[in-house]
Amino acid sequence: LPKDLNGKELAKKIKEELQENITSFTHAFRVTPKLAIVAVGEDLSANVYIKSKQSACKKVGIDSVVFRFPETASLEQIKEHLHELNADKSVHGIILELPLPAHILYDEAVSSIDPAKDVDGLHPVNLGLLFSGKPLFIPSTPRAVIRLIEEYKVPVEGKDVVIVGRSLAVGKPLYTLLLGKNATVTTCHTKTTNLKSHTRRADVIIAAVGKPGVIKADMVKPGAVVIDVGINVTESGLVGDVSYDEVYPVAGLITPVPGGVGPLTVAMILENTLRAAEINVNNFNHHRRLYGVKGSESG
């Protein structure tokens, strides 16, 4: 039996379905879903990521536009631009690309995005909705992990799931999503003493660290499912956080890097953009009114 959790294949299937749904949507409402990507400064790997998002958008029938600001742009400038995008009826989804220069305070900037257009799901309102169990947009990477778990019918109910990493974009949303699936969830981080004692008893390990080789063979219970979110650029190419070659024989199922969570994350952004367009045509303006978003269509 193949042991790989093939994210690339699943992403392809999702994108094919999505393309059909977008065609019907565009036909029914005479509206083409549109994603706006805002990037500040020049970051090489972010640029690669932006390009892959744009080409994926094009393939499924989503319009995309990138707004680039110089490193020296002010927080006020970025916030103003986000308010303009909130008010722009042709734009359905907005992404504020990371990394940002230090003076562009992420919390403040992301809070300027209309929650109904926040396809990354990182606006405090969307995180709050997620943690209250009524999400509007689920952040793409955690959602990609859940889709992989569902596709491969990985049992999580009543199981020990150990997440390594507690970022707002990955580890924390995963924690609440897996609790929702009745897993017993442990979240580890840099202050965790004896990481191995946790991972070793896990039925499912999810690594979202950003360092190669954090998960080694002796840290994995034989037969455990290992999901690697990490993307690290090394001299030998792109690798995850898991020492794939040595963990492979021990694991029950494992994600390759590349070809695991990465391609699925992009597919989830596309899905969220269609959802944003649907919300828009269904005139869910109450979200905007409720949260007093500046520059909203409803004033």
Ligand X SMILES: NC(=O)c1ccc[n+]([C@@H]2O[C@H](COP(=O)([O-])OP(=O)(O)OC[C@H]3O[C@@H](n4cnc5c(N)ncnc54)[C@H](OP(=O)(O)O)[C@@H]3O)[C@@H](O)[C@H]2O)c1
**Nearest-approach distance from CB 144 to ligand X, in angstroms:** 6
**Nearest-approach distance from CB 291 to ligand X, in angstroms:** 25
Task: Establish if 46 lies at the interface with ligand X (CB under 6 A).
Answer: no
**Nearest-approach distance from CB 72 to ligand X, in angstroms:** 25
For ligand X, the closer CB: 119 or 293:
119
For ligand X, the closer CB: 93 or 171:
171
Binding part of the chain for ligand X, among 104-112, 147-155, 207-215, 288-296 by CB under 6 A, reads 207-215
Residues near ligand X (CB under 6 A), total: 26
Task: Establish if 261 lies at the interface with ligand X (CB under 6 A).
Answer: yes
Task: Establish if 110 lies at the interface with ligand X (CB under 6 A).
Answer: no
For ligand X, the closer CB: 111 or 255:
255
- Indicate the residue type of 153: K
Q: Which of 30, 134, 153, 191 binds ligand X (CB under 6 A)?
A: 191
Token pair of 130 as six digits: 């997620």
For ligand X, the closer CB: 135 or 240:
240
Q: Which of 210, 252, 259, 295 binds ligand X (CB under 6 A)?
A: 210
DSSP assignment of the chain: ---B--HHHHHHHHHHHHHHHHHHHHHHHS---EEEEEEES--HHHHHHHHHHHHHHHHHT-EEEEEEE-TT--HHHHHHHHHHHHH-TT--EEEEPSP--TTS-HHHHHTTS-GGGBTT--SHHHHHHHHTT--SS--HHHHHHHHHHHHTT---TT-EEEEE---TTTHHHHHHHHHHTT-EEEEE-TT-S-HHHHHTT-SEEEE--SSTTSB-GGGS-TT-EEEE---EEETTEEE-SB-HHHHTTT-SEE--SSSSHHHHHHHHHHHHHHHHHHHHHTT-HHHHHHHT-TT-TT-
Task: Establish if 276 lies at the interface with ligand X (CB under 6 A).
Answer: no
Binding part of the chain for ligand X, among 68-76, 106-114, 225-233, 291-299 by CB under 6 A, reads 225-233
Task: Establish if 164 lies at the interface with ligand X (CB under 6 A).
Answer: yes
For ligand X, the closer CB: 3 or 8:
8
Provide the binding-site residues for ligand X, judged by CB under 6 A.
141, 164-167, 169-171, 188-192, 195, 208-211, 214, 229-232, 261-262, 265
